[in-house]
Amino acid sequence: MPSDRTALFHSAALRGAIWITLIALATTGFALTVQFTQTMRLLEQRNHALVDDEAASLLSRYRAAGLQGVARAVRQEGGAPRLNEFFYLLATPGGRPLAGNLVEWPREVNRPGYHRFETRVASSRAPLRERNVEARAIILPDGYRLLVGNLSDERMVLRDRYLSALVWSLLATGILGLALGFWYSRRGLFFVQAASDAGNRFLRGKLDERLPVSARRDEYDRLARTLNTTFEEIERLIGSLRAATEGLAHDLRTPITRIRARLELAEMQQADAEQLHAVMAESREDLDAILRLIEDILELARAEAIAEAGFAPLRLDAIVAEAVELYEPLAEERGLRLQMHTAPAQLSGSRSLLARMVTNLLDNAIKYSPQGGRILVAVEATEQNVVLSVADEGPGVPEAQREKVLYRFARLDPSRSQPGSGIGLSIVAAAVRAHRAELELQENKPGLRVVIRFSQTRRS
């Protein structure tokens, strides 16, 4: 790559990596924050339940033994070692402590309910020191104050650890996101660049250009296969168009040249009425051949324009039976045995296109079969496929030419002395493509066997 192109390539990869990293960072931060919030809420609910239970016990003691009973209970509970570190404070209406393990009534607590604050607590496990607490303040009926709380140090520790984990997680996510995002973006951009270069070479005339497909079978490989299929179809169409142009030019030039030669000869010889009548009759035959050729071209165009949206359920064996019945007199006239073996076979398709496909196959088989030969038409049906085959005992098609005969105006006879336009098998191939079927030309020993497989499972 040139230097400026390389710089643009790396810049685009870096932008992609930054976007991927930002998305990863936002996702990581959101996930950790949700987890932290849910954990803190669960701990808060647990602490509130414990504090409410402890406060209910003291209020029950107050109703039974009055203020002295609450004081005795506070002294007893505050001095006993417990799994959950509680603290208590019974104070006068003015806030002077009467009993409990708090040194003073917190200034922050000026109304009933839950409060969080820092104060000095005399714990059973540690000497007097500053602790984070969460407490419920209660105003007793005679104006005295009761404070029941639980240590909230573990939530502060959890918050600190969350912040630490968040920082490290975001840092790790940022580094990995930039590295992996840059790599993945480069990979995507390499594919885009490769596809662009292949497309440019294809447009410059290198029709055999294809994208490489790796063994990973990922989304890039699927896209590469799709693009390769598109390239192959365009190459096929261009090749068919070239062959069609050459064949059409030859097939039109010959009869038009004959017509012109007859007219010039008649003019030079000053032909009489009888001679002019003969010239007109011969020219009419050539014009009919040209009209048949044009009609075949239009029929091929209509066949290639049929879309799957217009398909309907039909019986292929019934279409084959009608075509065989139509061609039986012609086969008998040429001394051929036309045999049919069919089984009930239903599929989705275009009746007119399938009928034209079958008649073209029968027309070719009758045209090239020697007198006394046999033509076998068969329809088989399985759970996966419907198979149509037409076998004759004619000269067949060499293996190297079997793909070529499917092109428009393709003829195995270079002199083009045989009747026909060379479009029959092209219409068959167009019908096969429209129905997403598979066409195969096989050796019949002697002759040719045409096999068409229709899939019962429609591919999307």
The CATH number for 145's domain is 3.30.450
Residues 275 and 347 in one domain: no
* Residue that finishes a domain, picked among 123, 140, 157: 157
Residues 314 and 331 in one domain: yes
Residues 312 and 330 in one domain: yes
pLDDT at 122: 56
Identify whether 97 is part of a domain: yes
Residues 231 and 291 in one domain: yes
Token pair for 150? 């639980």
| Residue 265 clears pLDDT 70, i.e. is over it | yes
Residues 314 and 422 in one domain: yes
Cα–Cα distance measured from residue 36 to residue 167, given in angstroms and rounded to the nearest whole number = 14
CA torsion, ordered 243, 249, 255, 260, to nearest 10 deg: -170
**Range scoring the smallest mean pLDDT among 113-117, 155-159, 198-202, 440-444:** 155-159
Identify whether 195 is part of a domain: no
Q: What is the pLDDT of residues 180-202, one digit of tens each?
A: 766 766 666 677 777 888 888 88
Identify whether 374 is part of a domain: yes
Identify whether 290 is part of a domain: yes
| Residue 41 clears pLDDT 70, i.e. is over it | yes
Residues 102 and 116 in one domain: yes
Q: What is the pLDDT of residues 371-429, one digit of tens each?
A: 888 999 999 988 888 999 999 888 888 777 767 666 655 555 554 445 555 567 777 88
pLDDT at 415: 47
Cα–Cα distance measured from residue 439 to residue 451, given in angstroms and rounded to the nearest whole number = 6
CATH code where residue 451 lies: 3.30.565.10
Identify which of 320, 304, 378, 386 has the alpha carbon closest to the alpha carbon of residue 348. 386
Judge contact between 369 and 392, C-beta under 8 A.
yes
Single pTM value for the model: 0.47
Residues 314 and 432 in one domain: yes
Residues 97 and 239 in one domain: no
Residues 151 and 9 in one domain: yes
Identify which of 388, 363, 385, 364 has the alpha carbon closest to the alpha carbon of residue 377. 388
Identify whether 312 is part of a domain: yes
| Residue 303 clears pLDDT 50, i.e. is over it | yes
Judge contact between 351 and 344, C-beta under 8 A.
no
Identify whether 247 is part of a domain: yes
Number of domains in the chain: 3
Identify whether 197 is part of a domain: no
**416 φ/ψ sector (left φ>0, alpha ψ -120 to 50, else beta):** left
The CA radius of gyration of the chain, in Å to the nearest whole number, is 46
In order, the DSSP letters of 149-208 are: EEE-HHHHHHHHHHHHHHHHHHHHHHHHHHHHHHHHHHHHHHHHHHHHHHHHHHHTT-TT
Residues 317 and 271 in one domain: no
- Side-chain-facing half-sphere of 191: CA atoms under 13 Å: 17
Range of the domain at 153: 3-157
Q: What is the pLDDT of residues 321-331, one digit of tens each?
A: 999 999 999 98
Cα–Cα distance measured from residue 303 to residue 353, given in angstroms and rounded to the nearest whole number = 6
Residues 301 and 347 in one domain: no
